[in-house]
Amino acid sequence: MAVVAVISGSYLGYRQLSQPSCTGSVPLVIAAAPEIVAPIKAAADATVATGADIDGKCLDVTVNAAEPVEIAAAIATKHATQLTGVGQGSGATVLPDVWVPDSSTWLQRLKQAAPGFTPLNAQSVATSPVVVAMPEPIAKSAVGWPDKKLQWTDLLAAMTSSDSALKPGIVDPALDASGLSGLLALGQASAAGNGNDAARVGVLRTLALNRSNLRADLVAKFPKSDDPAALANGVGLAALSEEDVIAYNATKPPVSLAALYVEPAAVALDYPFAVMPETDAARGNAADLLFGELTQSPAYRDALAGAGLRGADGAAGGGFAAPTGAPSPEAIAASAPASSGGGAANGLDATAIGRALASWTAITSPGRMLVVFDVSGSMLGTVPTAGGKTRNQVMVEAAGRGLGLLDNEWWLGVWVFSTELAGQRDYRELVPIGQLTKQKDELQASLGDVRPVEGGATGLYDTVLASYLEVQKGYQADKVNSVVLFTDGQNEDPNSISRENLIQQLKDKADAKRPVRVILIGIGNEVNKEELESVAEAGGGGAYVAQDPAKIDEIFLQAIASRAATVG
């Protein structure tokens, strides 16, 4: 009994000493990409178990799995904006104190769309290179894996050759960071190769044929046997993370995936530890404490290895089995986005990302669109940054390139406007809205008829209302219906309706069951941005201003992408 009493007393004394001395708690909520939840939770539990406190209060850490696109949509919605191809958040998502998405490209996109979004820290706590995943039999026969080192230009040539049997797939790059990384890499390879729009568009359309909204859906399309027919019908390559390949092969599938580390390296997933700007001081201190565990603990690095992930420096913990052909940790770390969380990565910045996603969205989200060109006399003004071309020439050339992105599922029409172009009317139809496949030549030819009228003024308000009603009249429920109007000035028609009248009519005629988006593109510094924004907002769309008309290509792509918002 004496021995038992001594042991019991010792145990109670141990428990008393091992209990945290803190009182109360500091709750810290973390939303993390699903694949990194277990390592972060283990590190959080270890930190709490040490009795760490914040000003005498215990840590209470909750780590929730959240798809990055869901949190990104919620943040964008909070800032009254939306990301290209993502759209508004559901409204039910509660923002965390700390967000650990799979890639800093999410932070780059949010900072571009919402300048008020300024997360703290955003340093990497893990990394996973983006690879080209291919069924091993296809990788051996098609590209000589594992003996041959592959360039993105090689892969692009293999994908686009006339006798290619490769069937590429992609997770929608607007919704997935690995898909975005692959899209950017292929885009750069396309620019370095043929360097023409037709080749670039062809690549995007090829990828779009087998796109998925979720990684799990894409992975399910890989062949289920090494039978030639199964290999031919399944997805033959896709940009995924190294972790995706490791996780897939761990299930012992009938056909394993090879991870091809194509050069130059695609932008890696870097898992930034982003402390939300609204987080109070106590929770911020708690986040800093946990971040220290994530960057210094060997146990955390080993937990990452168990989840198929590497440390922020590209090195892996114990038990990590790197796929065949994996590069050095230094090379992997160099392929991650800038450690500031949202800076340029591999020469890519938010503008490059936005341009790539705008092109993607324009191709993959067919719509019904009326394009309206300003042909007032001021469009004869020259653009010094475009070699002295007129505003009209720059506008028409940009529109021609933009329209060249669109596939045959689109419906398009073309109007021009100034003042009194058709009797008292300020606008004139060049091509009625119709299926692109049936009037592609007519549409291209109509751009040659977009010519400024010397002395013509800008009949903006009447034209906006008439074009809105025209699109609404032939509304198609299976497409995004929109007006995209270019102008370099302000309304100058004294006989037109007023701006207040236009805004009221747009609101009155709006039909939630037949929505039409009005997208206004201002050219040069003579436009009234406030005027364009107020009208576009009433028309359910947005306004964009190209202060330098030579950069209108980029603005046009943004405009096309913006009219294709989806619910995130």
Give the model confidence (pLDDT) of 495-521 as tens digits.
999 999 999 999 999 998 899 999 999
User: What's the pLDDT at 550?
Assistant: 78
Full DSSP string of 66-133: --HHHHHHHHHHHTT--BTTTB---S-PPP-SEEE-S-THHHHHHHHH-TT---EEEEES-BB-EEEE
- Segment 2-23 mean pLDDT: 43
Q: Which residue has the higher pLDDT, 480 or 99?
A: 99
Q: Which residue type does 449 have?
A: D
Most confident by average pLDDT, 99-103, 433-437, 438-442, 548-552: 99-103
Global pTM? Answer: 0.76
Protein fold of 130-260: D-Maltodextrin-Binding Protein; domain 2 (3.40.190)
Q: Which residues pair with 414 in a beta bridge?
A: 371, 431
Protein fold of 25-128+271-350: D-Maltodextrin-Binding Protein; domain 2 (3.40.190)
Give the CATH number of domain 365-562. 3.40.50.410
- Residue 193: pLDDT band by 50, 70, 90 thresholds? low
Let me know if the fold of 25-128+271-350 is the same as that of 130-260.
yes
From CA 191, how far away is CA 146, in angstroms rounded? 27
From CA 558, how far away is CA 255, in angstroms rounded? 41
367 in helix, strand or coil?
Answer: strand
- Residue 565: pLDDT band by 50, 70, 90 thresholds? very low
Strand 257-260 with 57-65, pairing: unpaired
- Residue 407: pLDDT band by 50, 70, 90 thresholds? confident
From CA 474, how far away is CA 429, in angstroms rounded? 15
pLDDT at 303 over 90: yes
- Give the start-to-end residue ranges of the domains of the chain: 25-128+271-350, 130-260, 365-562
Q: Say which range, 85-94, 120-129, 133-142, has the weakest mean pLDDT.
A: 85-94
pLDDT at 560 over 90: no
Structure-token pair, residue 239: 């940009």
pLDDT at 53 over 90: no
Give the model confidence (pLDDT) of 229-256 as tens digits.
999 999 999 999 999 999 999 999 999 9
Give the model confidence (pLDDT) of 488-497 as tens digits.
989 999 999 9
pLDDT at 566 over 60: no
Query: Rounded mean pLDDT of the chain?
Result: 87
Structure-token pair, residue 254: 């009938």
Print the SS3 string covering 448-503.
Answer: HHCCCCCCCCCCHHHHHHHHHHHHHHCCCCCCEEEEEEEECCCCCCCCCCCHHHHH
Q: Which residue type does 286 have?
A: A
From CA 347, how far away is CA 357, in angstroms rounded? 16
Q: Which residue has the higher pLDDT, 38 or 541?
A: 38
Q: Which residues pair with 57 in a beta bridge?
A: 54
Q: Which of 493, 538, 496 is nearest to 517 (CA)?
A: 538
Q: Which of 148, 122, 134 is nearest to 336 (CA)?
A: 122
Q: Which of 182, 184, 190 is nearest to 153 (CA)?
A: 190
Q: What percent of the chain has pLDDT over 70?
A: 90
Burial 127-141 (b: 16+ CB within 10 A, else e): bbbbbbbbbbbbbee
Q: Kindly list the distances between the CA atom of residue 359 and the CA atoms of 102, 190, 274, 396, 460, in Å, as whole numbers in the listed order.
A: 23, 14, 28, 18, 28
